[in-house]
Structure 1
Amino acid sequence: MVVPVVETYAELGRRVLAGPARLGRTRLVAVDGPSGAGKSVFAARLADALAALPGGGRPPVVHTDDLLDGWDDQLTFWPRLESRVLAPLRAGRPGGYQRYSWVRRSFLPREVPVPPAPVVLVEGVSSARAVVRPELTLAVLVAAPAERRLTRAVARDGPGILPELRRWHAGERAHFAADATADAVDLVVDGDPAVPHDPDREYVRLRV
């Protein structure tokens, strides 16, 4: 039986800061889950909560969608993240990457810096994949019903993306099944909760 539990982002932020740094001196947090589940919102609110904590500071948030070389790079972008962001942070050096423009269909020339901060968040599909788990301080999976996720994506990007989106969803399902992500993460969050809570300060954890 799944029991929803309301928890605060501040409490989670304190948990992250108290956890061990496993990527060099950086506490790496992965916010994973299928498209439209609410990963970006969760990551932003956790970053805000960390910024409000003593000694926290607002952590950099890396969105893996910014590293994809188009729709066909759904899962194969990882070497780009590893070489440009994770490897430098592991060595205590600043990282940086070029953001992909989905309008121009190419990477923009300006580099997005990723400093070796005490905490860095990586948000996106497959961000908590097995290869990086030993270096994660916290792995989060944000979940929501498929119908709700599809509605959100179409409202955000328009119905023209439906053919690519359905193919994308199939790729997600295959990845999460093979990776056993839901069984490996530290926290599963309800991305479409019906439980009363303050969404700016609180999230709903799905406790099994």
Structure 2
Amino acid sequence: MIDDLAAYVMNRPPRLGDVRLIAVDGPSGAGKTRFANRLAAALGDAPVVHTDDLLNGWDDQFTFWTRLEENVLSPLRLGRTATYRRYDWDKKDFAGRPLTVPPRPAVLLEGVSAARRDIRPELTLAVFVDAPPELRWERAIARDGDDSVAYRKYLERWRAAEDRHFAVDDTAAQADLIIDGATEGWAR
């Protein structure tokens, strides 16, 4: 099925300059990264940009978009290679070697708010990945390896903000495809 989806994407016209931008959105712990990586592989190792890499800490959950636009989307739209630095959650700063994203025929944007209203006109495909709240919670704790009271407080605040965003943005209803992140089944 993933190969069929990749073929579908490549048969669609690009809408971000010459790039077919695929957004993989959904709440934390739903399985977005895993799905995005599988689709990227089926697309011939298409680059994947993770929105978490562009956040300036916990409080930048939805306000990072200007950074994404300037460093990634705008260059890709113009047929140029995008360059950005990944946020280092331990150092609490953007650090390390710059990451580059060439203007390939398909590029994936993965993370919470990746399919937000502002970018929808330029998306070739909008995917929303979801899973039951309990499973998402378990995955987030296992993924981040932090079961502390402080982390749980951040995660609760993060999830409440996600819920508000998805309700206002109508993200799932506007998606082209809904994926059950618990089973990776196709809902639509």
Query: Does 2:184 match 1:206?
Result: no
Secondary structure, counterpart of 1:65 in structure 2: helix
Give the Å deviation of 1:109. Answer: 4.2
The amino acid of 2:168's aligned partner reads A
Give the Å deviation of 1:206. Answer: 1.0
**Aligned twin of 1:142:** 129
Mapping for residues 1-208 of structure 1, pairs under 5 Å: 8-51=1-44, 58-157=45-144, 158-160=146-148, 161-193=151-183, 203-207=184-188
The amino acid of 1:101's aligned partner reads D
The amino acid of 1:31's aligned partner reads V
**C-alpha separation between the residues in 2 aligned to 1:110 and 1:152?**
28
Give the Å deviation of 1:152. Answer: 0.8
The amino acid of 1:36's aligned partner reads G
How far does the alpha carbon of each residue in 1:36-70 deviate from its partner, in whole angstroms, 9 at most, with x for none? 0000000000011111xxxxxx2110000000000
Give the Å deviation of 1:10. Answer: 0.2
Aligned-pair RMSD on alpha carbons?
0.8
How far does the alpha carbon of each residue in 1:123-155 deviate from its partner, in whole angstroms, 9 at most, with x for none? 000000000000000000000011110011112
Secondary structure, counterpart of 1:131 in structure 2: coil
Secondary structure, counterpart of 2:85 in structure 1: strand
**C-alpha separation between the residues in 2 aligned to 1:132 and 1:50?**
21
**C-alpha separation between the residues in 2 aligned to 1:156 and 1:59?**
24
Q: In percent, how many aligned pairs have the same letter? A: 56
Any gaps of 5 or more consecutive residues in structure 2? Answer: none
Structure 1 stretches of 4+ with a deviation exceeding 3 A read: none
Any gaps of 5 or more consecutive residues in structure 1? Answer: 1-7, 52-57, 194-202
**C-alpha separation between the residues in 1 aligned to 2:85 and 2:43?**
25
**C-alpha separation between the residues in 1 aligned to 2:141 and 2:10?**
36
**C-alpha separation between the residues in 1 aligned to 2:141 and 2:112?**
18
User: How many residues align structurally?
Assistant: 185
